[in-house]
Chain A
Amino acid sequence: MNFHKILLSILSILFILLNLNAHSRDYIIVQSTTSIANTGLLDLLSSKFEKQTGIKVRPIAVGTGNAISNAKRGDGDVLMVHSKKDELKFISDGFGVKRHKLMYNNFIIVGPKDDPAKISQETDIKNIMKKISHSNQKFISRDDNSGTHIKENALWKLANINLFDNRKYIKTGTSMANTLNVASEMNAYTLSDKGTWIAFKNKNNLKILFEGGEEMHNEYGIIAINPQKFPHVEYDKSKEFIEWLITGAGKDVINNFTYNGEKLFFTN
């Protein structure tokens, strides 16, 4: 019967394909938060880095929580997220080598232009969170364990508000841009990182109502995954990438990166 031959040839093709992957890789996998990827910065950094060093960068754009859990399974060489507490825990658990400050911008509160909850006069984030929770306006939450969602929870805690479990509090469970889409359609308030907001195209009736202050600082960290924990990682290439980003030419790429003339990320 020919079936055996066909089956054997398929298996051998698969085997050859697998063997091609078996030796040292010429690429690194970066587990990244969506805000760096969706704005287009990561694509730009990847192509520039590849041109200069020949090392390919394959970015996986997921939320911070998802990126960390993927990295903990060993699925990646570099972690690029924005939740300092979780990043430090990642390292103390032995998964990462060292946390480097990559860049920063800030979190913002966006909402309807006419601001029915009257938060734009406030200067203290605590009062803003209180006002939103006491008004009858909707608030859209990421609810996906991303860096922005972790920040949102911290802000509710700071304002001493128990997450109001009612119709005004809407959980999307998706990316920042998608959550902004929902906020835009429902004319509601939400917390966003500034990079995603600037690159977002469906703003409709939304605008920035609050930004600035220490509480709204949004810092991105970068960590090489520990080769002692996962021997398969390309540690030398990861280290080269990180150094290129924080001290080398990558830093200039970040500083010169604009979207419609607006600067999205700043380096230290």
Chain B
Amino acid sequence: MLTFEKIQSAIFITLYVSIFSTIISFIFSMFFGYILAIYKFKLKKSIVIFLSSMTSIPPVCAGLLVYLLISRSGPLGWMEILYSPLAMILAQIVITFPIMITLIIKNIETDYPIYKEELLSYGASKKDIIFLLISNKLNIYITVILVGFGRAISEYGAAAIVGGSIDHFTRNMTATIALETSKGNVSLGIILGAILISLTLIISIILNTLKND
């Protein structure tokens, strides 16, 4: 039977995994996004095109990819992270990273030249310009985080494959919904879906209040 306590643990796992994967994805995409947007080097265009094509990677493919990597017979098998929340975070990073970095690159590519031209004449360093870009474009980064988080929390397939959907440990909301629906508990699936949507609504409201208008 699905108890309140089980739903609670599914919510906790969902938030834990999706928030962490979004934060890590965001930090990585800021770091590499700035490099890809500002510096000019060989293969830059191919990397950007590859990343933007990866924005539509199906969650099951991402899950399978990570599964093959961290399976005991895979190259990272020694880490022993298959069927753990950490594995779910990794799989969600594969899903969210391309979409977040692509948005960031697009943004900086248009803004950076404008800032640079003006500020360099005032004697600002590259570091100062990047700092100013980040603090002035906070709204855009919040949107990027929301887009990444939305993709992470709503996916089904990636985290389920590498997490194994273990009760109280790696079974998140979407896996619970799929499982209960497949068992014939359709109405319960809908209730869980409503809870999941409310969760994303609350997080979206909180992040939107951070925006400076």
A-side residues, CB < 8 A to B, are 1, 3, 6-7, 10, 17-18, 21-22, 25, 29, 38, 40, 43, 46, 58-61, 70, 73-75, 174-175, 177-178, 180-181, 184, 199-203, 230, 232
Contact = CB atoms under 8 A, between A and B. Distances in A.
Given A3-B30, A75-B71, A232-B72, A58 B183 contact: no
A202 B30 CA distance: 48
A3 B82 CA distance: 29
Contacts of B120: none
B148 to A, nearest CB: 16
Contacts of A21: 79-81, 84
A1 B127 contact: yes
A74 B72 contact: yes
B72 A75 contact: yes
B164 interface: yes
B182 A73 contact: no
A6 B185 contact: no
Interface string B69-82: 00111100101111
Nearest to A27: B169
23 contacts: A3-B30, A6-B31, A10-B27, A18-B80, A18-B81, A18-B86, A22-B80, A38-B183, A40-B1, A58-B83, A58-B169, A60-B164, A60-B165, A73-B74, A74-B72, A74-B73, A75-B83, A175-B182, A177-B183, A177-B184, A202-B185, A202-B186, A230-B72
B83 A74 contact: no
Given A58-B166, A59-B167, A73 B185 contact: no
A199 B28 CA distance: 45
A29 B83 contact: yes
A61 B165 contact: yes
Contacts of B72: 73-75, 230, 232
Nearest to A9: B27
Contacts of A199: 183
B184 A181 contact: yes
Nearest to A39: B183
A7 B73 contact: no
Contact of B182 (A17, A174, A230): A174
Contacts of A38: 179, 182-183
Contacts of A59: 166-167
A32 to B, nearest CB: 10
B7 interface: no
B24 interface: yes
Contact of B31 (A7, A61, A203): A7
Nearest to B187: A201
A72 to B, nearest CB: 8
Contacts of A184: 184
B73 A73 contact: yes
Nearest to B169: A58
A201 B79 contact: no
Nearest to B165: A61
Contacts of B30: 3
A11 to B, nearest CB: 11
Nearest to A71: B72
B80 A60 contact: no
Contacts of A61: 165
Given A58-B169, A60-B164, A17 B86 contact: yes
B6 to A, nearest CB: 10
A202 B182 CA distance: 10
Contacts of B184: 177, 180-181, 184, 200-203
Interface in B50-98: 71-74, 77, 79-84, 86
B13 to A, nearest CB: 13
B50 to A, nearest CB: 21
Nearest to A25: B80
B160 to A, nearest CB: 10
B80 A232 contact: yes
B198 to A, nearest CB: 25
Contacts of B86: 17-18
B178 to A, nearest CB: 9
Given A178-B182, A202-B184, A202-B186, A3 B73 contact: no
